[in-house]
Structure 1
Amino acid sequence: MINPDTVPVYSLAERDRRWGIAREIMAAEGLDALIAYGEHECADLAPFAPDAYFTNDRPGAIVIFCRDADPVELTWSVLPVQDHIEARRRGDRLWIAPGDIRVARHAAGVVEVLREHRLENGNVGVLGLDPFPPFHINPIMPYRLWSDVLAELPGVTFTPVGLGYLFATICQSAEELAVIGYSAAAGDAMARAMLEASAPGVGEADVYAAGMAAAFRLGVAAPGMLLSSGPGFISWGPPAWSYRPQAPRVLEDGDVVMAEVFCRFGMKETQHQVAIAIGEPHADIKAAAEIARASYEAGLAAARPGNSFGDLAEAMMAPLAGADAWNIHPLVHTLNPLGPVCGFGAGLKRVPEAREYGRLFELPTMGGELPLAPGMTFAFEPNAVVGGRVVNLGGTVVIGEDDPVELNPYTARLLQA
């Protein structure tokens, strides 16, 4: 049973701080309004949800700030309204007043709000017109919705403001850090449950289920995990049986289980890299684990104010370069929100089968100029391939005033089943 007294919640002061951020973005860009388009609810990993950032409510809305007025929330159906009613009956502390919620998540609803505030010739910022990696390399705004808005409001100047939003929200408040800490603890609980479940003869699905159950029992959303097992591999992604009809693999002695666990609490995300050896691991696995650990420690040494994200990524790449190893996915990237990311993909050229494929894409480090500042959160996920076998480890790290704060040192090493 969860003790409600130990679960962090957001105050109205946090709401006012976030609404103040929206108005600071508007002032900095010379805007009369700000539109925050949110991805549909039930989005899986890395959702685009600036709407929920401003509402602290069910995601999947469009939120519009007009001048100094309170924001208007446009929902997709009556279901969020019904939830809002029940939350009021329970006495939950809500941020958006009933009169500011409309079932109008479409172009006509956006146009109506802007016209009500006489902004037919205004300057309007938009969250949803910028790329949002890793999954939205192209802007997420629906073509039909936005085409209709442009047709109805030809006099409005619309400006993408994704970069300003990232800079304004990437340093977490004390309340947000408490929420992130709760999520991080749940991630450790997931890793421990997965370790306990891992043994020869156990199926991948049983390990997956053990981790997910641990998160759910703590009231934390676990939207999924990436998981592979075997004596050695270079793949990285969700288990094949989660998208292809086939039986989950059964663990054997000498296997390793590699997983990336995602936790989300209060729409704040932590990530946890779980590496489990079943019995005695291969010598290449041990070597890869040492390199990945060296990368993790190099990242901790560089994760300080005064350095840039590029400095951090370069420091974490150095142990791999020194050992002639390569990484199958980023070594580090920002969280809350996602943005700057360490490069990856170049090492695939070493794999003989790679030449059989069409165009391959190597991602360079992006956002290297971002200065590190206290309150920023990062997914440390150093990984190294040695002899065709990868080890991935790490967790969530917070930039402190001086030294970084490791939220998940438990998963920053190779675990032994």
Structure 2
Amino acid sequence: MTDTPMHPYRRFSLAERDRRWRAVRQLMAREGLSAIIAPPNPGNSTDWQADTRYLSHCGGGADTSIGVVFPLDGEVTVVATSARERWGPLVQDWVSDVRTVNRQFGAAMGERLLELGLDGSRIGVCGLEGGTRTPEGTIMHGTYRALAAAVPNATFIDASELMQDVREIKSEEEIAVLQCSIDLVERALDAQLAAAQPGVPDYVVWAETMHAMFRRGSELSVHFNWVSGANPGRTLTRPTARPLREGDLILGEIESSVIGYRAQRLPVVAVNRCPPLIAELSALHGEMYAGLMETLKPGVTVREMIDATVALTRRAAPRRGPLAGARASLILHGRGLGDDRPLVLTKLDGEPFYGATLRALEARFPENGVYICKPSVATADGRVEFAWGDTVRVTPGGARRMGSMPHGVQVSEARPFADWPQDVTVYGSAA
């Protein structure tokens, strides 16, 4: 042991570790699994190795590749590059068996299974088959081949759903971290409102938004989508160099990351003034959203949430005027360490269009599940759409928003803003 103090990262407690490990092992025993392999794959903003971080408390950083061997009985093992320096006792206190493997992850995890005497056993593998956003799985082919070669008599079983069973229900410690994450996002939205002025490049407003989170302690990597314009519709994957105009809308999916936990907001910001039709859609959306929060209780199914989205909008829509016959769609998915279930994606009028959504229609939301709920409402012809969302927690009395900013479109106040680089930029290259 060392007397050197641990690096001052925010951490979960050992009690939280014990809670998770106990819950996972109970399900492993039920399924007859002797161990779970959580392989490295830092793709999709590290979503694809969320099980690894969940079990080990090792991770953080966009290029971090970590694998975990989690036995039903025995010591948990982490395999990584420069493992002791990056993930040893100065960084986390959950796992003491941390091994440097020079990126030979499959062979190293197989070696650990042999040490445990588990060749010939049933081994769960996270990401062996499809997940909510990963229908082809997430374990790399070479990792799987090396693992299978090391324990040729083992039977490999997909453990993705088992881990989702545990991860979907959040503890009080997890909810507190997600609350910190959404608080960082809302400070980012303050910065966005200040920078969203006519003539300011789109990239600059995005950068001010992200900077406000990172200077308060958000990790990388985080997911973001972003688009601006007169009628932007769905979000793009990144901002452009276009100068903003008065009346533009900015639509972005904004997340921060606290110990890897990423709450999300889908705000709508209008530059100095809001188009009247958007204001009307925002008010209609607010009425529908309040009804959804009352609907989203423990035991409610995904199908019932989709139906409620459509029905609430039809009920609230006026019989005459531009919003007559307004339509709605629902996007809702888990928030936590990444790719938490379910993934609910529908078209206008509620038709599911993604395989994971179809498989989840009868799934029931649990108490203390945490989700980003971001439905949209649109004119009857679908040409103008308004989407807005917040991270919400499911309680017996309905869902509770975790954000504190008011629902709906927010209008930036006209004020001077000229604080962006002029020396080396890409802004002048926009068409």
- The normalised TM-score by structure 1 is 0.84
Q: Distance in 2 between matches of 1:411 and 1:189?
A: 14
Distance 1:213 1:266 in 2: 18
CA 225–302 in structure 1, closer or farther in 2 if over 3 Å, else same: same
Q: Write out aligned runs for 1:18-417 (5 A).
A: 18-40=20-42, 43-44=44-45, 46-58=47-59, 59-75=64-80, 77-78=81-82, 80-85=83-88, 88=90, 93-97=92-96, 99-103=97-101, 105-134=104-133, 136-221=134-219, 223-239=222-238, 241=240, 248-320=241-313, 323=317, 324-325=325-326, 330-336=330-336, 337-345=339-347, 364-386=357-379, 388-410=383-405, 412-417=407-412
Contact 2:201 2:242 in 1 (8 A): yes
> Conserved in 2, the CA contact under 8 Å of 1:33 and 1:124?
yes
Deviations 1:1-33 (A, max 9, x none): xxxxxx964111111112212312211111111
Q: Which amino acid aligns with 1:312?
A: M
1:379 and 1:137, CA in 2 relative to 1: closer, same or farther beyond 3 A? same
Contact 1:119–1:156 (CA under 8 A) maintained in structure 2:
yes
Report which of the two has the higher share of helix: 1
1:312 to partner: Cα distance: 2.2
Structure 1 residues 93 and 37, CA gap change in structure 2 (3 angstroms): closer
Contact 2:197 2:271 survives alignment (8 Å): yes
Q: Is the 8 A contact 2:223 2:255 kept in 1?
A: yes
- Runs of 5+ consecutive residues of structure 2 not aligned to the other structure: 1-8, 318-324, 413-431
> Residue 54 of structure 1: CA displacement?
1.1
Q: Tell me the CA shift for residue 258 of structure 1.
A: 0.9
Post-superposition shift, 1:310?
2.5
Shift of 1:47: 4.3
> Against the structure 1 CA distance between its residues 38 and 303, is the aligned structure 2 distance closer, same or farther, given a 3 Å change threshold?
farther
> Could you tell me how far apart the structure 1 residues matched to 2:20 and 2:342 are?
22
Name the SS for the 1:235 alignment partner.
coil
The count of residues paired between Structure 1 and Structure 2 equals: 386
RMSD between aligned residues:
2.7
Give per-residue Cα distances to partners, 1:109-152, cap 9 Å, x unaligned. Answer: 12211111222211111111132233x23201111221333344
Secondary structure, aligned partner of 1:48: helix
Cα distance in 1, alignment partners of residues 392 and 341 from structure 2: 15
Secondary structure of 1:305's match?
A: coil
- Secondary structure of residue in 2 paired with 1:154: coil
Counterpart of 1:13 in structure 2 is 15
